[in-house]
Amino acid sequence: MVADPDTPLRADARRNRDQIIAAAKQVFLDQGPDVPMEVIARRAGVGVGTLYRRFPDRESLILAVSRRNFEEVVTEARAAAAEEPTAWAAIVRLLQRSRGLKLSVQLAVLSPLARAILRDDETTQEFRAEIMLILDELVRGAQAEGSMRRDVGAGDVAVLCSLLLMDLPLEDLSDLVLDRALAVMIDGLRATSQSPLPGRPITGEDLRIR
């Protein structure tokens, strides 16, 4: 049974908890969620005992990090939808900032342990559903504007994000390769693209964590 990571805490305990979550996010991003808990404690500047008081096991820490990260993705998606002048511009903004979504992809797609935890967590599923709802509305809006090709769905855009976030063993060239790949992907999503796509559009439901 995974402990609820959102139990109210006093101020000093919450500071420790926030430090641990921030450190775990970075460590998970760099090394994956299977890294030893001692590494996370060192990165957070707390003792291992403090870490285990806040998070009694790896599962509860993964859950807390996942909830925090998905919440931040929801906030960014809402902001893009509200602040950009067109739905197409909002989609481009989300894609261009997709490096910030890397941890969500790692946890939801690449880690079997994290997938098992997230599959059963109602809060994470609600965040994920909202992200996909916003993305679906943006895709439909961009298609109605005539900016985006009509044979793609929100799931296609989400998959493109995940492909962009794969680790590239290219060291100094990785940023250049990513920027160029992103430009090609954005161009391929434009309504002016001529090549038909195989099959049907991928939806958010197709990507639901199972």
What token pair was written down for 18?
């926030």
Residue 100: predicted pLDDT: 56
CATH architecture of 12-56: Orthogonal Bundle (1.10)
Name the residue among 107, 111, 108, 101 with its Cα closest to residue 77: 101
Domain ranges of the chain: 12-56, 66-207
What token pair was written down for 21?
């979550």
Residue 48: predicted pLDDT: 94
Residue 117: predicted pLDDT: 81
Q: CA–CA separation, 44 vs 42, rounded Å?
A: 5
Q: CA–CA separation, 24 vs 37, rounded Å?
A: 9
Residue 66: predicted pLDDT: 85
Domains 12-56 and 66-207 share a fold: no
Q: Is 110:92 a contact under the CB 8 Å cutoff? A: no
Q: CA–CA separation, 191 vs 178, rounded Å?
A: 22
Q: Is 62:117 a contact under the CB 8 Å cutoff? A: yes
| pLDDT tens over the chain, length 210 residues | 455 555 555 677 888 899 999 999 888 877 778 889 999 999 999 999 999 999 999 999 989 988 888 888 889 999 999 999 999 999 999 888 765 566 666 665 556 777 788 888 889 889 888 988 999 999 999 999 999 999 999 989 888 877 776 666 656 666 787 788 888 889 999 998 778 888 899 887 887 766
Q: What residues does 6 pair with on adjacent strands?
A: none
Residue 118: predicted pLDDT: 80
pTM: 0.78
Q: CA–CA separation, 3 vs 121, rounded Å?
A: 11
In angstroms, the Cα distances linking 26 to 3, 39, 53 are 22, 11, 20
Residue 128: predicted pLDDT: 84
Q: Is 127:107 a contact under the CB 8 Å cutoff? A: no
SS (H, E, C) 3-32: CCCCCCCCHHHHHHHHHHHHHHHHHHHHHC
CATH number of 66-207: 1.10.357.10
Residue 127: predicted pLDDT: 87
Residue 169: predicted pLDDT: 62
